[in-house]
Structure 1
Amino acid sequence: MTIRYPRPLRPGDRIGVTSPSSGVAEKLRARLDVALRDLEQRGYEVVVGRCMDGSTHVSAPAADRAAELTAMLTDPTIRAVVPPWGGETAIDLLSLLDFEAIGRAEPTWVVGYSDMSTILTPLTLLTGVATVHGNNLMETPYRTPEGLKSWLDIVTAPQGEPFTQEPPGRYRTARFDDFVGHPEVRDFTLDAEGGWTRLDGDGEVDIEGRLIGGCVETLGPLAGTPYLDTSRFAGDEPLLVYVEACEDNAFTICRHLHGMRLAGFFDRAAAVLVGRTHAPDSPTLTQHEAVLDALGTLGVPIVADVECGHVAPYLPLVNGAGGRGGGRGRTGGRGELRRGDTAAPARGPRHPGAPP
């Protein structure tokens, strides 16, 4: 499938804010205001939608959320759409979104992770428009650690310019910061050390392919449906498939991954990247073991503890873009991949260590 990249975001452009899944509770509005001001101070005009209520697990009825998201993605004056965060049941939007109209419109950047995977991944698979699996709006005020990019770095990158990201070697053990008591927090508390871990063996890794993936808990229910057809999307190209677990125990993640594999989600995978997780192990199965149990028979490199999930800091990945990574790793969590490369929204010239 031909990938279409939205043009780079520029000061003066409009950014749409809506909640396709969960909205923002009143006690967290101060953090939302901080994030919105940050965008405005960078020179963007921010358009906040009506679907933002945080009193229940959804911001509005499904039809209203789908209509608002479709309207923003087909409005030529809105150049990017970012939600405050994910949620629980964005799956109820898929049959209501007008993917044909979105596919005909000029491409717009869509950003997010967690339950936003339910929207981002099908959007790229069905329309060929690149999307950004990266930090949400509420994480946007954080300073980006050295070696990583923010979603704003990526969507403002010049057309044709590749970029490189590297594991920072540190992560946060707490699930969340206190946005109620400290709405203006801007520095991650990265209180633990750890790099990337190769699960399937040892030795050099040199992987390359087109990126696609997302949250296991929200993509698992889409396995085998037209919304998650990676084989049609890939054609003859290899894929770098990434997955990450939010909160389900290892038994549940194992079942989800088996189901996704049986449905063909990993059929074109040249490698699998697995996000670092706070999700619990099960009594006789760890999260790493769950991945190997489900995907070890693929015969491709499996690299875990990547910063592409719910554990801060965040390494944004561009669905649909080409990517390349390399380095060394060991089974058992001691090895690190010293470099992870993801492609910019472009097809620029390649150089050693750069993606296509």
Structure 2
Amino acid sequence: MTSPAIRYPRPLRPGDRIGVTSPSAGVVGAGAERIEFCVEWLRGRGYDVVVGACMDGSGLTSAPADVRAAELTRMLADPGIACVIPPWGGETAIDLVDLLDYDLLAGCEPTWLVGFSDLSTVLLPVTTRLGWATVHGDNLADTPYDAPEGLLHWLDLVGGAGPFVQRDSGLVADWWRFEEDTRATTWKHVGTGGWELRGGGTLDVTGRLVGGCVETVGPLAGTPYGDVRTWAERFDEPTIVYVEACESDAVDICRHLHAMRLAGWFDRTAAVLVGSTRAPDHPDLTQRGAVEDALGRLDLPVVWDLEIGHVPPHLPLVNGALARVVVDGDRHEITQTLA
């Protein structure tokens, strides 16, 4: 039975319209060529793609905050648009979270909002304030990449009924630079890896998914746009919080995680999922040490090195979905149910 506290958009089908807008950074140069290819890639799979006006890559953001917020609100409220995706992330999407028209959107049917990195800043309040399920998955620039064995493409999640089962891919990858190949569809393999349960043993937990990029959702903790504690109280189930670091050193990540803890993010949490990262350590603190320092006193299960962030490939997660996470020997698995 579907929880009344979460609203799922209808499944996306070929023929549906996908809106592209830049709530944060716009596109320029070889990046613009990549985005043009990605738009055509989606059209080649039967989707009707409309590109908004907020796409300028000449500055820090694609347009003033009020203009970006208005375009994103329009696309999310348009019943003719079934899904919205940005070209990629950026730096300061936080400047528009209080400019979205939540009252207008609350009266609309939910629309899929997909992306990661700076878009986490927007995914979080859309889920926690509106109750809409959102997808932490590939941005448009990454969408043509094939999902490796074990993982699903974000189009699979928004286009089906589930349950959606994904398993540890064992792959550590990287992006092809746009200057190398603007039409890449296969990840650059750079190594192997795997999920790891802190302290060993086994894990089998169920909860509602919520999370994002630590550098972008951390500053929302304790505000009306990142009130995970109040959101979590609406559910009978605990939460499963996922976090990933982009580029900040371990001390900054530690500070953000403490702020999230103090704001109640982990009060109802059954487990924490931590994405692989290439973010730097501090001379006196590692990235894992940052998580331990902030969350160790909570005695929560922690699963390290999931494919959920700035080290591809990408394991898409649906904010608000009911998820079961199992780590038991060679079984590393997450099942998401849109219920």
TM-score normalized with structure 2 length:
0.96
Q: Per-residue deviation at 1:337? A: 6.4
Paired residues of 1:169 and 1:195 also in contact (CA < 8 A): yes
Aligned residue pairs, count: 334
For the residue of structure 2 that corresponds to 1:105, the secondary structure is coil
Structure 2 equivalent of residue 56 of structure 1: 59
Alignment of 1:177-256 (within 5 A): 177-199=176-198, 201-235=199-233, 236-256=236-256
Letter in 1 for 2:289: E
1:166 and 2:164 matched: no
Letter in 1 for 2:125: P
Q: Deviations over 1:114-163 (max 9, x none)?
A: 000000011100011000000110001111101101111111113xx201
Q: Which runs of 5 or more residues in structure 1 are unaligned?
A: 329-335, 348-356
Structure 2 equivalent of residue 273 of structure 1: 273
Structure 2 equivalent of residue 332 of structure 1: none
Runs of 4+ in structure 1 off by over 6 angstroms are: none
Q: Per-residue deviation at 1:338? A: 2.8
Paired residues of 1:318 and 1:342 also in contact (CA < 8 A): no
1:93 and 2:100 matched: no
For the residue of structure 1 that corresponds to 2:156, the secondary structure is helix
Q: Distance in 2 between matches of 1:60 and 1:177?
A: 27
Paired residues of 1:4 and 1:107 also in contact (CA < 8 A): yes
Q: Distance in 2 between matches of 1:132 and 1:183?
A: 24
Q: Per-residue deviation at 1:108? A: 0.3
Letter in 2 for 1:341: I
Which residue of 116, 123, 133 corresponds with 1:130? 133
Structure 1 equivalent of residue 143 of structure 2: 140
Task: State, as a whole percentage, how many aligned pairs show the same letter.
Answer: 57
Structure 2 equivalent of residue 36 of structure 1: 39
Structure 1 equivalent of residue 283 of structure 2: 283
Paired residues of 1:16 and 1:82 also in contact (CA < 8 A): yes
Letter in 2 for 1:281: D
Paired residues of 1:103 and 1:129 also in contact (CA < 8 A): no
Rate the CA distance shift 1:309–1:266 in 2: closer, same or farther, 3 A: same
Letter in 2 for 1:217: E
Q: Per-residue deviation at 1:342? A: 3.4
For the residue of structure 2 that corresponds to 1:327, the secondary structure is strand
Paired residues of 2:115 and 2:138 also in contact (CA < 8 A): yes
Structure 1 equivalent of residue 295 of structure 2: 295
Q: Per-residue deviation at 1:248? A: 0.4
Paired residues of 2:277 and 2:311 also in contact (CA < 8 A): yes
Q: Distance in 1 between matches of 2:27 and 2:205?
A: 39
1:318 and 2:315 matched: no
Paired residues of 2:17 and 2:47 also in contact (CA < 8 A): yes
For the residue of structure 2 that corresponds to 1:35, the secondary structure is helix
Letter in 2 for 1:153: D
Q: Per-residue deviation at 1:340? A: 2.2
Letter in 2 for 1:293: D
The Cα RMSD (Å) is: 1.2
Paired residues of 1:326 and 1:337 also in contact (CA < 8 A): no
Q: Which runs of 5 or more residues in structure 2 are unaligned?
A: none
Paired residues of 2:229 and 2:263 also in contact (CA < 8 A): no
For the residue of structure 1 that corresponds to 2:225, the secondary structure is helix
Q: Distance in 1 between matches of 2:263 and 2:230?
A: 13
Q: Deviations over 1:225-266 (max 9, x none)?
A: 111111221124300000100000111111111111011111
